[in-house]
Every structure is written in structure tokens, then in C-alpha cells.
């Protein structure tokens, strides 16, 4: 019998978990693989809720999150802890996801231990090192040390080629669509606990990006205030990220604002149900930019740059930035202009067909045989 291919999937934050858990499940079902799950726990509660949803118990839990952690300490902790595991376990392949500190530093660590590396969600770029910070540089780093690059779109493939990498890239779609379809089909959720008003249009808001801390996030909050004052038929739901840099800005401005609900981060199943129920989604999240077009929901992106321009080209997403007036005007147009709303909701989802995990599984098998 052939030796099993020894694979580790390593992740640490909520979005990585959402996009890697379906892959853990797919690879574990294949007898050719010996699969280990390593979590850095760069996030704790927000990670655990995803692990629970997908019923995954990590084989290694580094438990690294500290309150209001910084990039330096987190990076050195990840580097040293993964060194121990990689040296002992001698994996044939380490899979990392996306662009977080967990992704960037784990890939570097695997590279130092001369292990093959696969990058899930490879090839995304803004070509601006400050947007998003520090994620753009993490992505470049991971792709530059990877042997296999699983790209969600043609654009991502092109970015890899343009950077001079000559082999190892494949178009697979994004595993987030696999996760979304699994949850929407299998884990529908009752949202009564949020207390939505059925007579109002729900606008869903998420914002947590580092480069939006401070003034840009304040602008977003003041835009929200103006929008609910002008439009008595809308309510805003903001599941706030647990990062204190988000909450310390948002809560003082938006608490006690009529028809604005500041709530705790939602588990993934209720969040998917809330996206489905929403009229418009305002976000600076990467994952939400990919999911909402698959659900036919118009998305306004509260960032100056995006590494996910495909959905803008397809028409379901608009890049709005963080200028208060621009946010108010763009939302108002979508509320008032039925044709524009219809156009955006009917746009095609460019991020995959829900089978990305199977494509990745097949590529790994072919690579090792």
C-alpha cells in the first residue's frame, strides 16, 4: 500500500476557519491523506464558533490570542510554536489560507522547515502595501514560498503569472462558496433573537479592517447616523468584531441610535441567514464581498482598494471608500433607484461553484503521485 500523504491545514482567524473547515472535511474523507488540523487561535471565540459549526476538533491548538495583541508578538509566537510542530511531524504539505498573520508566518515557518506549502485563496492583490495592511504583504509572502497555489479566479491566476511565478497555480474557485452553500443548505437559522423589524429594510454592516481604525471608521459611523435619520424605513444591524479598536470607536458614536442595532459577532450560520435577509450589505470584509454576490445581495465596500475586483466588474459590488458623503449618497441611490438595485442584485457570482475543495483535493493527489 502507498504511504499516505501527510497534510497539515493551519489557520487561526474566523475567515480562515470558514474557508478551511470544508477543506478539512473533504481531505479527511480521502484515505490517501493523513490530515492534521493546526489552529494558532489568533482568534479565540470567533474561531471556536466555526470549529463547532463544522464539528472539527483541532489536533494542535496553539491558543495564542492575547487581548489587543500586536503583530510582532503574535508573529514571533506563531513562528516558534509552528517550528516545534513542523520539525516533529514532518508533514508532506502544509496548507495555509489567505493573508492573515497566521497565514504569512506559518508559511514562512513551513518554508524554513523545508516543507511543501499550498496556498488556499492565492493570487489576490491590490498592489498597494498599505491597503489592506498588513494583509497585502502577507499574500505576496505566502505565494512566493508556495509550491501549490489555489486561485479563486482567472484574475488571481494572472496576478501570480505577472509576479514571475511559472508553475504551481490552479484555478479552483473560492472555498468560501463551498462553506456558504453547505451552511445555507444544512444549517438554516432562526433570527428571532436579533429582533428584526419585518416592516423595515435591513441593512447589514460589518467593519473591522486595521486601515479603517480611527477616522475612517468614525466616518462610517456618522454616515450610518445620517442614513437612519433620513430614511425611517431602514434599520442597520452591525455585528461588531471583537477587536477593541473597532468597539472603542463604534459604541460611543452609534449606541442608543434609533434603528441601529449593535450586536455581538454572529456565529456563521445566523450570519448567513442575516445576509440572505438583508436588503443591502455595507462591509470592509473580504469574505463578505465574496459571499453576498452569491446570495444576490448588493454590496458597498467601505475601503479605498479591494483585492477582489471581480464582483465589481460583474456588477454586484461597488467600491465606496470611507468618505461620509460618498457612503450616504451611494446607499441613498440604492434605496431610491429600483433599477439600479435590481441590476446589482442580479449580478453573477464570480467566486466559484461550491466545489473548490474537491478541485483542491484532486490537484494535491496529482501533485504527489
Yes or no: say if 281 and 297 are a contact pair by the CB < 8 Å rule: yes
User: Which of ligand UD1, ligand UDP, none sits in contact with 134, Cβ below 5 to 8 A by type?
Assistant: ligand UD1
DSSP string, 252-304: HHHTT-TTEEEEPPPPHHHHHHHHHH-SEEEE--HHHHHHHHHTT--EEE-SS
Q: Which of 79, 157, 165, 242 binds ligand UD1 (CB under 6 A)?
A: 242
CA 350, chain centre distance (Å): 15
* Site membership for ligand UD1, residue 109 (CB under 6 A): no
* Site membership for ligand UDP, residue 54 (CB under 6 A): no
* Site membership for ligand UD1, residue 125 (CB under 6 A): no
209 in active site: no
User: Which of ligand UDP, ligand UD1, none sits in contact with 279, Cβ below 5 to 8 A by type?
Assistant: none
Scanning 11-19, 55-63, 332-340, 360-368 for contacts with ligand UDP by CB under 6 A, the matching segment is 11-19
Q: Which of 8, 13, 107, 212 binds ligand UD1 (CB under 6 A)?
A: 13
User: Which of ligand UDP, ligand UD1, none sits in contact with 268, Cβ below 5 to 8 A by type?
Assistant: ligand UDP
CA dist 68 and 338 (Å) reads 43
* Site membership for ligand UD1, residue 244 (CB under 6 A): yes
CA dist 177 and 153 (Å) reads 13
CA dist 252 and 254 (Å) reads 6
121 in active site: yes
* Site membership for ligand UDP, residue 285 (CB under 6 A): yes
* Site membership for ligand UDP, residue 169 (CB under 6 A): no
b/e code 1-38 from CB counts within 10 Å (16+ = b): eeeebbbbbbbbbbbbbbbbbbbbbbbbebeebbbbbb
Options 210, 226, 355, 358, the catalytic residue? 210
Name residues whose C-beta falls within 8 Å of residue 334's C-beta, 6 or more positions apart in sequence.
280, 298, 300, 340, 341, 344
Q: Which of 30, 32, 69, 158 binds ligand UD1 (CB under 6 A)?
A: 69
Residues annotated catalytic, as ranges: 99, 121, 135, 208, 210, 241
Binding site for ligand UDP (CB under 6 A): 14-15, 18, 206, 208, 239, 265-266, 268, 271, 285-288, 291
Amino acid at each position: 500500500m502507498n504511504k499516505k500523504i501527510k497534510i497539515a491545514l493551519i489557520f487561526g482567524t474566523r475567515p480562515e476557519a470558514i474557508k478551511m473547515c470544508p477543506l478539512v472535511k473533504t481531505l479527511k474523507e480521502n484515505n490517501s491523506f493523513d490530515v492534521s488540523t493546526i489552529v494558532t487561535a489568533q482568534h479565540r471565540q470567533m474561531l471556536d464558533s466555526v470549529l463547532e459549526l463544522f464539528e472539527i476538533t483541532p489536533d494542535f491548538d496553539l491558543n495564542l490570542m492575547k487581548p489587543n495583541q500586536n503583530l510582532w508578538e503574535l508573529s514571533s509566537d506563531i513562528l516558534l510554536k509552528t517550528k516545534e510542530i513542523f520539525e516533529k511531524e514532518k508533514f508532506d504539505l502544509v496548507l495555509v489560507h489567505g493573508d492573515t498573520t497566521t497565514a504569512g508566518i506559518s508559511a514562512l515557518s513551513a518554508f524554513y522547515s523545508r516543507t511543501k506549502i499550498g496556498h488556499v485563496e492565492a493570487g489576490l492583490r491590490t498592489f498597494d502595501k498599505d491597503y489592506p495592511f498588513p494583509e497585502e504583504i502577507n499574500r505576496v509572502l505566502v505565494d512566493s514560498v508556495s509550491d501549490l497555489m489555489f486561485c479563486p479566479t482567472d484574475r488571481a491566476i494572472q496576478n501570480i503569472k505577472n509576479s514571475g511565478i511559472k508553475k504551481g497555480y490552479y484555478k479552483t474557485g473560492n472555498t468560501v462558496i463551498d462553506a456558504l452553500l453547505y451552511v445555507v443548505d444544512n444549517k438554516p437559522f432562526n433570527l428571532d433573537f436579533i429582533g428584526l423589524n419585518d416592516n423595515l429594510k435591513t441593512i447589514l454592516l460589518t467593519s473591522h479592517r486595521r486601515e479603517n481604525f480611527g477616522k475612517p471608521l468614525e466616518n462610517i459611523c456618522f454616515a450610518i447616523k445620517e442614513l437612519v435619520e433620513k430614511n425611517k424605513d431602514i434599520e442597520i444591524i452591525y455585528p461588531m468584531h471583537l477587536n477593541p479598536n473597532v468597539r472603542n470607536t463604534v459604541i460611543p458614536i452609534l449606541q442608543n441610535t434609533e434603528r441601529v442595532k449593535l450586536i455581538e459577532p454572529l456565529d456563521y450560520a445566523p450570519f448567513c441567514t442575516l445576509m440572505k435577509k438583508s436588503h443591502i450589505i455595507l462591509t470592509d470584509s473580504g469574505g463578505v464581498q465574496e459571499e453576498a454576490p452569491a446570495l444576490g445581495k448588493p454590496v458597498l465596500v467601505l475601503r479605498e482598494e479591494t483585492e477582489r475586483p471581480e464582483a465589481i466588474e460583474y456588477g454586484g459590488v461597488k467600491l465606496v471608500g470611507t468618505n461620509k458623503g460618498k457612503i450616504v449618497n451611494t446607499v441613498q441611490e440604492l434605496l431610491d433607484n429600483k433599477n439600479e438595485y435590481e441590476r446589482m442584485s442580479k449580478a453573477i457570482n464570480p467566486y466559484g461553484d461550491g466545489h473548490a475543495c474537491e478541485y483542491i483535493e484532486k490537484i494535491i493527489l496529482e501533485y504527489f503521485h
